[in-house]
Amino acid sequence: MGFVEVKSRSSISDRQLVVDPKKCTGCRQCEIVCSISQCGVSNPTKSRIRIIHWRNKGIFIPISCQQCEDAPCMTACPREAIQRDTGLNRVVVDYDRCISCKICVSACPFGAMGFDPQDQKIFKCNLCDGDPQCVRFCYPQSIDFTDPGRLQYPRIRNAALKYAGFGRKTHVVFSGK
């Protein structure tokens, strides 16, 4: 038996952008920061991440590119301008090949592909080259850039806490009842 080489789980290439809608307050800071970071102007319509809300019900859901493994935008592109960047595990647009036909905009099931009418270019989340600004400015920590192995961990922990009955008068698991 030889030693198995264990890769560091915190390397950038393994990380994914994940959202927890429960924590989102709908402040839209991510939208503004994204547009300033990517375009140099403040304009939420140019943001790569959008907050979809049902304000009366208190529901806010951040939506951005999911960097799908089998990306419909990539499949739909007639010029093969959309490719996977294995270094950062993301889907990127090659603007030298792109003809701005907007088929990818129609193909994306999340509506995460956008079109800038001023520049006549499509745009999508590029994970800010490994340092997403939306994550930096999300103070409620609704958006996270994390290791896939730890995606479910906070929820598992919460579920475990509830199961154990912490916060209740009697601990269901440990009282033996």
Partner 1 sequence: MALNRKLAYIDLGQKKTIVKEIPYEWRRKFLGGRGISAYLLFRHLPKGSDPLGPGNVVIISTGVLGGTGFGPFECTGITSKSPLTGLSAFSPVTGHFAGEMRWAGFDHLVITGKSRHPVYLYIHDGKIDFKTAKNLKGKSISETLGNIRKDLLDEDVRALVVGPAGENRVCFADVSTDCGHRAGRTGMGAVLGSKNIKAVVCRGARDVLVKRPVDLLAYQKEIFDRLLPIIHLPHAPSTFEKNEVSIRDMTVNSFQRADRDSEMALRHLIAESGSDLFSTRCILEWVLRLFQAGIITQKKIRDIPLSRNNIATHMEVVNRITANKGIGTTLSLGPLGASKKLGKESLSCFPSVIELIQMYTEAVADPLAPAQRDISFLKVNNNAHEKSYPIKTTGMRVTDRCESGSIDRRTMGKMPGRKVSEMVANCLGFNGFHVPEDILGMPLFSVYEKLLDLVTGLRVKKNDLAEIAHRCYATERLLNLRESSIHGRPASITEAFDVPVGLRMTKSCWDGLELKTFQRLVSRYYKGKGWDRKSMVKLRFFKNLGIEDLWVLLK
The residues binding partner 1 (CB under 8 A) are 22-23, 25-29, 32-33, 36-37, 39-46, 53, 55-56, 58, 118, 133, 136-137, 139-140
Minimum gap (Å) between residue 30 Cβ and partner 1: 10
Minimum gap (Å) between residue 118 Cβ and partner 1: 8
Q: How far is the CB of 43 from partner 1 (least distance, A)?
A: 5
* Sequential DSSP letters for 108-144: -TT---EEETTTTEEE---GGGG--HHHHT-TT--EE
91 and 71 in contact (C-beta within 8 Å)?
yes
Residue 117 beta carbon to partner 1: minimum distance, rounded to whole angstroms: 9
Residue number, 28 or 90, with CB nearest to partner 1: 28
Question: At closest approach, how far in Å is the CB of 32 from partner 1?
Answer: 4
Specify the residue, 44 or 165, whose C-beta has the smaller distance to partner 1.
Answer: 44
In the complex with partner 1, the residue whose CB is nearer, 8 or 56, is: 56
Residue among 4 and 41 whose Cβ is closer to partner 1: 41
Shortest separation between residue 40's beta carbon and partner 1, angstroms: 4
Among residues 59, 64, 65, the alpha carbon closest in space to that of 25 is found at 59
Residues 87 and 43: their CA atoms lie apart, in Å, by 29
Nearer to partner 1, 25 or 175 (CB): 25
* Cα dihedral value 29, 37, 132, 34, nearest 10: 40
- The 8-class DSSP code of residue 40 comes to S
Cα-based torsion angle of the residue sequence 108, 130, 18, 154 in order, rounded to the nearest 10 degrees = 160
| Contacting residues for 18 by C-beta, under 8 A, at least 6 apart | 143, 144, 145, 146, 151
Cβ distance to partner 1 smaller for residue 47 or 89: 47
